[in-house]
Amino acid sequence: MNSKKTLKYYLSLPWSYTIEQEESEGRRYYILRVNELPGVCTDAETLSEGEELIKEAIEAAIKLYMKTGEEIPEPINKTEFKGNIAYRTTSERHYYLAKAAKVMHKSLSKTMDDLIDAGMSFLRIVH
């Protein structure tokens, strides 16, 4: 662990969450998981309550990491990504992507972006 990094530093990082909506006994609630901190999660009846609770969970987890001297995983830095991905797939999948792009009147890249966005939305990966 880098001793120069403080609790305040870690709390200021752009932690991302996966949010799931569940229902039990007729009541709806949300489960929030911190993507970068394995096992750190909370549940709440509202998203706003969940967002407050997850901040508390992050702080508690970071304090525990610091106390035990373990390395604290950090969120990835958005500025490190330039938008270029080398993607290999099967010829069949490539064909279906090209076919979908033609039907949608979009480029192959834009079609892939739309499909990835739909998947990310389905998984509710937010930051």
pLDDT tens profile 52-96: 999 999 999 999 999 999 999 999 887 888 888 888 999 999 999
Q: What is the mean pLDDT of the chain?
A: 90
Assigned token pair, 112:
């892939």
What is the average per-residue pLDDT within 19-36? 92
Stretch among 3-7, 23-27, 68-72 having the lowest mean pLDDT? 3-7
What is the average per-residue pLDDT within 92-101? 94
Provide the 10 A C-beta neighbour count for residue 7: 11
Nearest to 59 by CA among 46, 72, 49, 77: 72
- Residue 18: strand pairing partners: 33, 125
Residue 1 clears pLDDT 60, i.e. is over it: no
Sign of CA dihedral 30, 38, 115, 127: positive
At residue 19, φ and ψ (nearest 5 deg) are -115, 130
Pairing of strands 125-126, 27-34: unpaired
Residue 127 clears pLDDT 80, i.e. is over it: no
Residue 98 clears pLDDT 80, i.e. is over it: yes
- Work out the end-to-end distance of the chain between its first and last CA atoms, rounded to an integer number of angstroms: 24
